[in-house]
Structure 1
Amino acid sequence: MALKLPDETLAAIMALHLTVPDAAFTSTDYLSPFSRIEQSSSTLLCVCKRFMRVATPLLYETVILRSTAQAQALAAALKANKDFGRFIKKLRVEGGYGASVEKIMVAAPNITDFAMTLKLWANDNVRGMCKAMHNINPRRVVLISLNDSRDNVSTRNATDTLCACFESWTRLTTVILPANEFSLDYGPAQALVPAMKKCPTLREVGLRGEPHRPHRILNELAAIPSLEVLDVTWSEADMTPQPPLYALAFGIPLPSDQHKLSAEANTKIRYAPERHEPRRPIFPRMLAPSVIPDPLPPLDPSWRPFANASDDVRASLWTNILEHVIRPARGSLLPYQHALMSLLAEDSEFDEDSDMEQSFYGSDSEDSMDYPFLHRRPKRYGPAVSCMLVCKEFASIATKVACQELVLASHPAIISFYDRLNSDPSLAAHVESIRLQSQGMSSASIKPILNALLERLTNLKRVSLGSSLWTSVGLDYSSLEALSVGAAATLTQMDNMFFSGVGNIDALTRFTALKVLEWEGAVALKTVPDDADAELCLPALEKLVLRSSSPSFLRALARCELPVLATLVLHLPTAVHLLLPAEKDALDEFLDAHGSGITKVVQDKDSSSFVLEKCPNVVELVFTDAFTRYSDTRAVELKDPHKSLKRIQLPHLSLRKGLLQWRFFLDSLNDEMLPALRTISIADLNFWPTTQREIAKSVWPPIAERLLECGIKMVDGEGIAWRPRLQSSSTRRR
């Protein structure tokens, strides 16, 4: 099909892939937009000779130089093909890359856009570029970055040359500057502004980013005699400076810097369009009364929403609405249902200083801390209690919504909720998640009440004992048996399950819908149930998290059927090779029974070789961040090749701690013992070095290139793989 297209049509199609966006070419961001490109656009020229002939002018139209090797290669290509230099119209040089830059600029007489940087190191060679800058006559100049802290020979030479060229360039009409690095008090900007005032053809200056004090910069640039337009990337509303924290908290308006602008600046500035979303205070609930808008008076005091709807329809509508009001509070560190049940007791008033409120951990009120510097205002409640205080209908609906996720953080909280269930048993069906965060749950005083409470939760889907912010809560094994009475068919997730005492595995296998089980503790489980003929099975269990290596628990699970178990998370207290003999034997027995069905393993202690030997069908191996902190990485040593492992996910490697051990681990990987391995993922974002200097100092590019030769890609947290760069004789690693 492409053979039938004329060259003009084919060129228009190729331009969509080869043309560099102007926003990228003029970018002044700290991270270059060209540092994250995985695939070179020049691969399009390798299709056939016709593609090469048509696409070559498009490829050379915009040239981006990011290393000395690239500059040397391009200089050699222009020397061999004299006509290629005429195609170059835009040139962006992101460093000092030696004499080759001079050869490129001399061979390209049609440069109209020139981008350079003044953030240079002392060993950057800019002599060639500075010498050739007098031979070009661009219409637009882009300063990618200004050197505000490095005072060296390279920076001074580039700055002096640029200032001299501002007077000699006769076609220059536009200059783009990085506003966030532009300072009139120090750095190259002190010399650039006077030089731009001497350029008679300069018509437009663009500022990218947001400066600290824009009025000073704008007034100074507006004083350029020939300037007509000051193009900025912020809106007129953004001329207001960033307010301090107290102003954000109370929504106090600050005066704009608009009045500080000169009359000349006001006529020349071209602002960006207004933002769709205006700035909002960080703490909207702490607004001062003077800035809180007065509510509109009701048109009809007797008006009732959804008055014509049936009770069921109205309750359904209000439930959906109140869920959006109350449920955003879920996941917060403090529970939002404080004194929930005492608030709704019949014929009683809510006492904000009641003992019941103080018995709960946290508060639904926003006044949990006293700020003496704030103005005094009436006590305000959080979303759950505020909805309950509106009317009886709201109280009934909000109670059910708030009960969907319960956080019982003390013994009085358990007793309060249990008493409320006795007065309103229908609330038990609304509880979908419960988290226990109080110690001493196995005490004789609270255990009977807790067990009776758990037996009545017939719609429970998730239970958690403690969380990552609290130590695990220990329960007697009888509480698990009580939980199985009401929620055996509905419970899907158990987190931080820490049990003590003696029990029977049969109580755990009653949870037929259980998908995620996180087990911790030292309960002694009987492997044979009371009914010897009963089938032990967890038919829905997909993920198992082991936080302890209890031999009785592992042996009990080894005798259970786990047909869909696919993910195993090992958060053991120590590495596998350091376990006690009884614990090691129990783990061996468990993996011998179920290791063939596991496809994903997550670990925070070194057990790679052991896991791969016991689980032949593992597709993904994950190392958590705790691995680097608490474990020494060992080389992968396998007796036989593992033919299923396709992906290894490593923790954050930006920290220097553990750097050597991860290099040792990666060096042990090869395509002979892991023939199916294709990807090694790293959790860090922007992990790869982006500049020539960073690449020369980083240890990861050589490792990634060695693995790539084995067919294994290393990708960062954004899925971007390392692509080998051109290397010159000075940058090539020895």
Structure 2
Amino acid sequence: MDTHLPDEIISEILSPALKVSDEEFSDTSPNSPFARYSESSSAFLLVCKAWLRVATPLLYHVVVLRSKAQASALDSALRRNSELGRWVKKLRVEGGYGSCMLKIMAAVPNVTDLFISVDIWSSDNVSGLIKGLPSLNPTRVVFYDPPYGRRRNKNSEGLVQAITQSLKDWKNLAVFELSNSFASSTMFSIAASLRVAPALKTIVTPISYGIFSQHPPEHLVLMAKNPSLERIQLKPARPRFGMTIPNTGFSSPPHPLFRGLIQMPENDVPGSVHSSAPSSRSIQYSTASVPDNIWKRILYFAAAPDIQGSKWIPHSRFRLVLVSKKFARLAMPYLKETLYFRSPLTFDDLGPVLRSDLSFRLTRNLYVDTNANMNLRPVFSSPLVNIIGLTMFYVSSAVFSELAKKCGQTLVRLEGLTVAKGNKPLESSVFAQFINIRSLALGFKSPFAKSPSIPSSTLATLEQLKITQCDRTLITVLSEMDLPALREVIFQVDNARELDLGTFLTKHGGKLRRVDLPNSVFLNTFNVCPAVVDLTIFCGNGTPNASLYTCTTPHASLQTITFKTDGRFRGAERKWAGFFDSLSVLTFPALRQISLPCIKWPTTEHDIGKSLWVQWAERLLDHNVTLVDSNGVGWRRRLKK
């Protein structure tokens, strides 16, 4: 790849992608900020030789070690090219990682910032780390010692002793950062060494309220006695057990021992006032020359409803009419085009308004966010295009029949309503009224009467069908239709065993691209749905039968399988062990993803080694299939020794 760019320009281009912020490097959260599943930044080095030459120093500027395999790979790289070690300025070590740490630390003489954790498992080997510490002489050290659930064993204690000795010997150490402000034997050992650290200038610690009392923390008292110390910089404490710690300053002064040393966070400096006074200068402009057509286009987008998923996000779109008479005149048609109701009472008030204000009869979209019974008759005079229930609401069978008769010709989407059971069954001919419908998402408590014949053109434009509840009569009616445009089917029903879904899928399965079914459907979907691309199974608290996920011939279309569960993480590995141990994906050559919301990916080397999710994910990756969690994050292979 010939870029024709000087190295300086390439460096500026690659720096944002390869840079590790100091905030991330020094982060002392319980979950490491580097426990992520994105593509490694080292991939940029593979683009071309120019990028390799320029990006290598940038990549090695900050080194983060989170596993034995990473440490071993770094050791091998440094032995092959000793120049790489001179580029390392920041080194973050989150474990022990064996004897190779001695060679690594000896090969990185220019390290100025060191992050070191004493949260060590008893199985970790810290011998190389202990022996390598004296070879460093950092300017800044970030010390990670978690206050809750910390591990104390022979290895962690040995590492603490090595750090306390090194603190006395490091002549360049000017900044020391603590991960917590709790007194402990470890903290006393560290404080005793920092008291005599020859170049120490700054201590960074989470806010300790003891500093502002008559009995300050003893470890901070020891540190404050260092004659070279210039400041104790406080940083906001991390929330505990989900509680937020406000940063509003302190009314009492610090303990006399700390006066002149305490440096508060910027937002916590007592007495600081942020002025909110308006600027003395104002911008004068006129919109008189802006044509109405331009304002109409602007207001069209400003008045649009904010819908995300199945939720209405309230915003102040009706305030547009308060800006000026022009805005009221131009925006009102757009506001009347889409109506939103959260209760039947407000909807009942619409009837008199429709009779007195004919402009409301231009309403195209109706959103309902209530699970109550609704009488939709007041809007039947409007040419409705979309009726959307953000939560499932109910209508009577008589209202539904009248809706089909009055609005069936204009409706494109009819979603989120359930037809209540009436005195007599519904006629299947009611569906023939919806001549332009593309999406139906309905529930039926009312059965359907037997019909001698159903026109083949019924619901000819229907593309998406979602049924939330029904009985066998509806499935029989749908199975007798042709439904030529149908591509997506969702059966989110509790009584799937009572329904004849096999007949429906046998009739329409050949044209379906997406199928959502309950786990209780004991049917080999792949044989009757050869074109399905996305399959979703509603499992609840159960697990699917792996024997149903096979087909007699290779299924060339299936790309994703999604299992929707109750989302509980505890015990999920054990519950799904039978399925994944028996699952074979050999007959699905196009399969690329299996999604399971109860997956919780491990974030440490110790947990990764024990995780069954990881074992199953890596077995699936052998067949180019990714196992992903509820956030769509898939497992990526880790470096192995």
State the TM-score, normalizing by the size of structure 2: 0.76
Letter in 1 for 2:253: K
- Pair 1:676–1:669, CA change in 2 (3 A): farther
3-state SS of 1:260 partner: coil
3-state SS of 2:595 partner: strand
| In structure 1, distance between residues paired with 2:450 and 2:301 | 48
| In structure 2, distance between residues paired with 1:416 and 1:44 | 62
1:357 aligns to what?
none
1:106 aligns with 2:101: no
3-state SS of 1:188 partner: helix
- Once the two structures are TM-superposed, the CA of residue 561 in structure 1 deviates from its matched residue by 4.5
| In structure 1, distance between residues paired with 2:71 and 2:521 | 47
Deviations 1:473-528 (A, max 9, x none): 36225632345314541352232322433233332232234333123224214545
| In structure 2, distance between residues paired with 1:19 and 1:408 | 48
Give matches, 1:434-583, under 5 Å: 435=368, 450=375, 453=378, 455-459=380-384, 461-462=386-387, 464=389, 467=391, 473=394, 475-477=396-398, 479-486=400-407, 488-490=409-411, 492-500=413-421, 501-521=424-444, 522-527=446-451, 536-548=457-469, 550-575=471-496, 579-580=497-498, 583=499
- Pair 1:455–1:69, CA change in 2 (3 A): closer
- Once the two structures are TM-superposed, the CA of residue 117 in structure 1 deviates from its matched residue by 0.9
| In structure 2, distance between residues paired with 1:714 and 1:22 | 32
| In structure 2, distance between residues paired with 1:77 and 1:255 | 49
Letter in 2 for 1:269: Q
1:644 aligns to what?
557
1:164 aligns with 2:87: no
- Once the two structures are TM-superposed, the CA of residue 212 in structure 1 deviates from its matched residue by 7.1
Structure 2: unaligned runs, 5 residues or longer: 277-286
Is the 8 Å Cα contact of residues 97 and 126 (structure 1) preserved in structure 2? yes
- Once the two structures are TM-superposed, the CA of residue 199 in structure 1 deviates from its matched residue by 1.5
2:528 aligns to what?
614
Letter in 1 for 2:132: A
Is the 8 Å Cα contact of residues 670 and 707 (structure 1) preserved in structure 2? no
Structure 1: unaligned runs, 5 residues or longer: 249-253, 280-292, 294-305, 336-381, 442-449, 729-734
Is the 8 Å Cα contact of residues 645 and 677 (structure 1) preserved in structure 2? yes
- Pair 1:511–1:71, CA change in 2 (3 A): same
- Once the two structures are TM-superposed, the CA of residue 418 in structure 1 deviates from its matched residue by 4.7
Give matches, 1:280-679, under 5 Å: 405=339, 407=341, 418=351, 427=360, 429-430=362-363, 432-433=365-366, 435=368, 450=375, 453=378, 455-459=380-384, 461-462=386-387, 464=389, 467=391, 473=394, 475-477=396-398, 479-486=400-407, 488-490=409-411, 492-500=413-421, 501-521=424-444, 522-527=446-451, 536-548=457-469, 550-575=471-496, 579-580=497-498, 583-584=499-500, 587-607=501-521, 610-624=524-538, 627-630=539-542, 632-635=544-547, 636-651=549-564, 655-679=569-593
| In structure 2, distance between residues paired with 1:10 and 1:255 | 44
Is the 8 Å Cα contact of residues 621 and 645 (structure 1) preserved in structure 2? yes
3-state SS of 2:433 partner: coil
Is the 8 Å Cα contact of residues 599 and 620 (structure 1) preserved in structure 2? yes
Is the 8 Å Cα contact of residues 548 and 573 (structure 1) preserved in structure 2? yes
Deviations 1:99-143 (A, max 9, x none): 332232234444332211122334433343223222321122122
1:225 aligns with 2:221: no
Letter in 1 for 2:183: D
Is the 8 Å Cα contact of residues 96 and 126 (structure 1) preserved in structure 2? yes
Is the 8 Å Cα contact of residues 437 and 473 (structure 1) preserved in structure 2? no
Aligned partner (choices 600, 623, 626) of residue 710 of structure 1: 623
1:284 aligns to what?
none
- Pair 1:460–1:679, CA change in 2 (3 A): closer
Is the 8 Å Cα contact of residues 29 and 144 (structure 1) preserved in structure 2? no
- Once the two structures are TM-superposed, the CA of residue 186 in structure 1 deviates from its matched residue by 3.7
1:201 aligns to what?
199
Larger displacement relative to structure 2 (31-40 or 219-228): 219-228
| In structure 1, distance between residues paired with 2:376 and 2:78 | 82
- Once the two structures are TM-superposed, the CA of residue 637 in structure 1 deviates from its matched residue by 2.2
3-state SS of 1:176 partner: strand
Aligned partner (choices 696, 699, 704) of residue 612 of structure 2: 699
- Pair 1:546–1:211, CA change in 2 (3 A): farther
- Pair 1:684–1:32, CA change in 2 (3 A): farther
| In structure 1, distance between residues paired with 2:113 and 2:253 | 33
Letter in 1 for 2:458: C
2:284 aligns to what?
none
Deviations 1:144-202 (A, max 9, x none): 44344436233333333322222211011222333xxx124346334434432321211
- Once the two structures are TM-superposed, the CA of residue 701 in structure 1 deviates from its matched residue by 1.2
1:365 aligns to what?
none
Is the 8 Å Cα contact of residues 171 and 201 (structure 1) preserved in structure 2? yes
Is the 8 Å Cα contact of residues 341 and 347 (structure 2) preserved in structure 1? no
Is the 8 Å Cα contact of residues 387 and 413 (structure 2) preserved in structure 1? yes
- Once the two structures are TM-superposed, the CA of residue 227 in structure 1 deviates from its matched residue by 3.0
Identity between Structure 1 and Structure 2 (%): 26
1:260 aligns with 2:253: yes
| In structure 1, distance between residues paired with 2:378 and 2:523 | 45
- Pair 1:30–1:515, CA change in 2 (3 A): farther
3-state SS of 1:519 partner: strand
Q: CA RMSD in A?
A: 5.4
Is the 8 Å Cα contact of residues 640 and 673 (structure 1) preserved in structure 2? yes
Give matches, 1:84-103, under 5 Å: 85-103=85-103
| In structure 2, distance between residues paired with 1:560 and 1:274 | 69
Is the 8 Å Cα contact of residues 404 and 431 (structure 2) preserved in structure 1? no
| In structure 2, distance between residues paired with 1:50 and 1:261 | 55
State the TM-score, normalizing by the size of structure 1: 0.67
3-state SS of 2:166 partner: helix
| In structure 2, distance between residues paired with 1:12 and 1:331 | 43
| In structure 1, distance between residues paired with 2:484 and 2:226 | 77
- Pair 1:144–1:30, CA change in 2 (3 A): same
| In structure 1, distance between residues paired with 2:210 and 2:449 | 69
| In structure 2, distance between residues paired with 1:616 and 1:18 | 45
| In structure 2, distance between residues paired with 1:513 and 1:7 | 60
| In structure 2, distance between residues paired with 1:629 and 1:73 | 43
1:130 aligns to what?
130
Deviations 1:247-305 (A, max 9, x none): 99xxxxx9731643368656662744799xx99xxxxxxxxxxxxx9xxxxxxxxxxxx
Aligned partner (choices 180, 190, 193) of residue 192 of structure 1: 190
Is the 8 Å Cα contact of residues 455 and 483 (structure 1) preserved in structure 2? no
| In structure 1, distance between residues paired with 2:359 and 2:226 | 77
- Once the two structures are TM-superposed, the CA of residue 409 in structure 1 deviates from its matched residue by 5.6
Letter in 2 for 1:256: G
- Once the two structures are TM-superposed, the CA of residue 75 in structure 1 deviates from its matched residue by 3.5
| In structure 1, distance between residues paired with 2:11 and 2:385 | 63
Is the 8 Å Cα contact of residues 468 and 491 (structure 2) preserved in structure 1? yes
Is the 8 Å Cα contact of residues 368 and 388 (structure 2) preserved in structure 1? yes
3-state SS of 1:680 partner: strand
- Once the two structures are TM-superposed, the CA of residue 404 in structure 1 deviates from its matched residue by 5.3
3-state SS of 2:515 partner: strand
| In structure 2, distance between residues paired with 1:618 and 1:460 | 29
